[in-house]
Amino acid sequence: MTTSTRPLHLAAELAPGSGRADPGPHTAARTVALARLAEAAALDFLTHDDSFAGPGLDALAVLARVAPETRSVGLVPTVTTTHTEPFHVQAAVATLDWVSRGRAGWRIAVSPTGAEARLLGRRPAPPAAELWQEAGEVAEVSRKLWDSWEDDAEIRDVATGRFVDRRKLHHVDFQGATFSVKGPSIVPRPPQGNPVTVVDATRPAARDTAAHHADVALIRATSAEEAAALRAELRRGARAHGRDPGQLRVLLSLTVDLDAYEGGPGALAELIAGWHGGGAVDGFHLVPAVPERDLERFAAGTVPRLRDRGLFRTAYEGTTLRDHLGLARPLSQYATTGAGA
Amino acid sequence: MSTATGRKQIHLAAHFPGVNSTTVWADPRSGSQIDFSSFEHLARTAERGLFDFFFLAEGLRLREHAGRIHDLDVVGRPESITVLNALAAVTDRLGLAATVNATFNEPYELARRLSSLDHLSAGRAAWNVVTSSDAFTGENFRRGGYLDRADRYTRAAEFLGTVRELWDSWTPDGEPGPFAHSGPQFRIEGEFPVPRSPQGQPVVIQAGDSAEGREFAASAADVIFTRHSTLEAGREFYADVKGRLARYGRAPGDLKIMPGVTYVLGDTDADAQERAAEIRRQQVSPQNAILALEQVWGRDLSGYDPDGPLPDVDPDPDSTLVQGRVRVADPVAVARRWRALSEEKGLSIRQTVIESGSRQSFVGSPATVAAALEEFVAADAADGFILVPRLTPGGLDAFVDRVVPLLQERGVFRTEYAGTTLRSHLGLPEPVWKGGTP
């Protein structure tokens, strides 16, 4: 197959198995170098794994540090919703979107272990199913809070002395099973409207939350058929939640050791082209065994072959992560009345 | 700290313009309060001026007035620590201070975030510890607003102590160790995931002038962010706070006293005074005058004419009209004072608010302002200042271009950064490692 009707999306992980991440003072320089490498290859976005159990720096902090030193690549830190405050989490993700000028996402995670619960001391860890339900509620309230400032809420009207039009600022009055939030957000609506929500749907417990809330779902599969079935399941789920499945991208997470990979970067390009062309997935999320080595080989050996086949962009065409993913910038859910409250 | 000139050195910090009426948004030069470029401009300007640190306040709920979102002042801001991590990429030496509430956070998570900032900025992180007890703010959080006002500092003190235990859980040689904290507020245990950060302990700032706040600062803070007042009151405050340090085995230089100050510069003193009066009029729009009145009276006064006389009715002492900002302490006394002022000078509502409102702290030519700043520090009324510009993002430019060189000529301000960390800019001692003995 030489052409594809759907664009190919490529992403990569910066801190595979966050337990092995270098947590020290070289993190900034090292991560900036990796991000620039990925950006030169015009990848859609970079994920940065994280866990309270560490070791490692806070992933959202690392990517905020990277943002001013990159221009185009999307930045997607892992953020847990289990022991954190939803109001703080959405403000931090919105702020990452502001400092990166529209390139932020977040990969929702939960903290299921007792060890993590004891670090925070807030409550014991509930079962995984409840944690993913809560994660879905955090995704929902985050979207409400990002929307709680309509795009044109700031008016700076000298004649009436008003800085904002208060009819365009909204209480969200969210009641979840384990928390409630009044709103509105403290942060004005971020550049993308809603930063991109990524959910790792590998585990069945996360799959409904992914279908309901994710803009990008990550899956794992050992065959194109298995990947296609998972993608179909997620798209059905999205439709069942009243969403347009065309606004959900399904990327296959692929752990790659390009030292050991048979056939090397060229064979990887064959696999990507084959699975994508066959419609199994919308793209790939590369999880490199050794980021410096494997990302370099991927950028130098795999990406050019995909470009030769006309499958992958040669340069960024837009400026935001939503642009790269072909996802529309959503209107605020509160912006429907037009005439105001 | 003194230099070869023998003069006491001034510490300077820059506050991002606030979300209140000190910030003049109606000025045509007023830019975005949220675009990263505004933060970058102010931070780069502060670094060009060799400032100790850049300071961000925090907002956790939009202010409300009479049950509606307050709409007259600049509103909307980013999450502080995230912006500071980004600023670490565009500055090299400038300290980066985040205000973060101890009531609506948890020690493990915040210790990790601050330690991350210290690593990512190579030793420039600071935390301004604030507390809150109000249920209004609590409505945005899992925790809610149940904290008793009296428990605010109890929680803050144990919070800070716990954060420091976490920071000290790695040895200075880079060996991790387990931690376990068990107290009335927090029971946590495990292993801290971040190695000891470049400053060992990020700088701790405490904002608040109450007796409890002073004691808390004396026991645990590196910098106290205080209200600006007269030279005499400043000297009294300075002596009181520094006098509390010995009880905690600390030296006077271990805690820097930095009032938040505003300023207006002009080519001449008269020119500056004229501009200060104009700024005051811009800050108190007719709508803001009525609002200021309602904040004192606690009543709906929207029917009053800002250019007319003050109300005859007395303030409502039990009012809940204003939410999300500090309440006027004794509204009846303030109302009495305002009425007296209005009658004495024949002032309207707006004129009364303008006349009685807070003045710009330092007004004058660059030479006058430089001399006044030096006088405050030399007289032991302060160790330095947190400057609050009234314009985003250019409000610091003139100060750095015109006042800083004069302070340098006087030998009271650095001509280059001597060290790389915020601790070194502030002249604070190396923190003593207290880990290893659970």
Under an 8 A CB cutoff, do B198 and A25 touch? yes
Residue B342 confidence (pLDDT): 93
pTM of the model: 0.95
Which residues of chain B have a CB within 8 Å of the CB of A101? 36
Question: Is B60 in the A-facing interface, judged by CB distances under 8 Å?
Answer: yes
* Mean pLDDT along residues B179-190: 96
Per residue in B295-325, pLDDT (tens digit) is 899 899 989 999 999 998 888 878 877 777 7
Q: Which of B81, B156, B87, B168 is nearest to A58 (CA)?
A: B81
Distances (CA, A) of B372 to A185, B49, B148, B230, B233: 41, 18, 41, 11, 15
Question: Is B185 in the A-facing interface, judged by CB distances under 8 Å?
Answer: no
How many Cβ pairs within 8 Å bridge chains A and B? 186
Closest-CA distance of chain A to residue B120, Å:
6
Q: Which of B25, B39, B80, B140 to mutate to test the interface with A (most CBs of A within 10 A)?
A: B140
Q: Could you tell me which chain B residue has the CA closest to the CA of A27?
A: B120
Residue A337 confidence (pLDDT): 54
Residue B329 confidence (pLDDT): 77
At B81, which amino acid appears?
I
Question: Is A84 in the B-facing interface, judged by CB distances under 8 Å?
Answer: yes
Under an 8 A CB cutoff, do A121 and B188 touch? yes
Say what percent of chain B tops pLDDT 70. Answer: 97
Per residue in A282-333, pLDDT (tens digit) is 999 999 999 999 999 999 999 999 999 999 999 999 999 999 999 999 999 9
Q: Which of A62, A65, A182 sits opposite B139 (nearest CB)?
A: A182
Only one residue has tokens 């993590």, namely A116
Per residue in B265-278, pLDDT (tens digit) is 999 999 999 999 99
Residue B188 confidence (pLDDT): 97
Under an 8 A CB cutoff, do A115 and B190 touch? yes
Q: Which long-range contacts (CB under 8 A, 24 or more apart) does B414-419 make?
A: B414/B9, B414/B50, B415/B50, B416/B50, B417/B50, B417/B93
Question: Is A163 in the B-facing interface, judged by CB distances under 8 Å?
Answer: yes
Question: Is A195 in the B-facing interface, judged by CB distances under 8 Å?
Answer: no
Residue A21 confidence (pLDDT): 53
CA A69/CA B89 separation, integer angstroms: 7
Question: Is B189 in the A-facing interface, judged by CB distances under 8 Å?
Answer: yes
CA B372/CA B262 separation, integer angstroms: 13
Residue B11 confidence (pLDDT): 98
State the complex-level ipTM: 0.96
At B302, which amino acid appears?
S
Residue A18 confidence (pLDDT): 58
DSSP symbols for B180-221: EEE-SS-EEEEE-SSPPBTTBS-EEEEE--SHHHHHHHHHH-
Q: Which of B35, B108, B120 sits opposite A62 (nearest CB)?
A: B120
Q: Are B60 and A181 in contact (CB under 8 A)?
A: no
Which residues of chain B have a CB within 8 Å of the CB of A25? 119, 122, 198
Which residues of chain B have a CB within 8 Å of the CB of A58? 112-113, 116
The pLDDT of residue A5 is above 80? no
Under an 8 A CB cutoff, do B71 and A85 touch? no
Per residue in B368-426, pLDDT (tens digit) is 999 999 999 999 999 999 999 999 999 999 999 999 999 999 999 999 999 999 999 99
Q: Is A74 helix (H, G, I), strand (E, B) or coil?
A: strand
Q: Which of A166, A178, A184 sits opposite B68 (nearest CB)?
A: A166
Per residue in B32-82, pLDDT (tens digit) is 999 999 999 999 999 999 999 999 999 999 999 878 999 999 999 999 999
Q: Which of B75, B85, B113 sits opposite A65 (nearest CB)?
A: B85
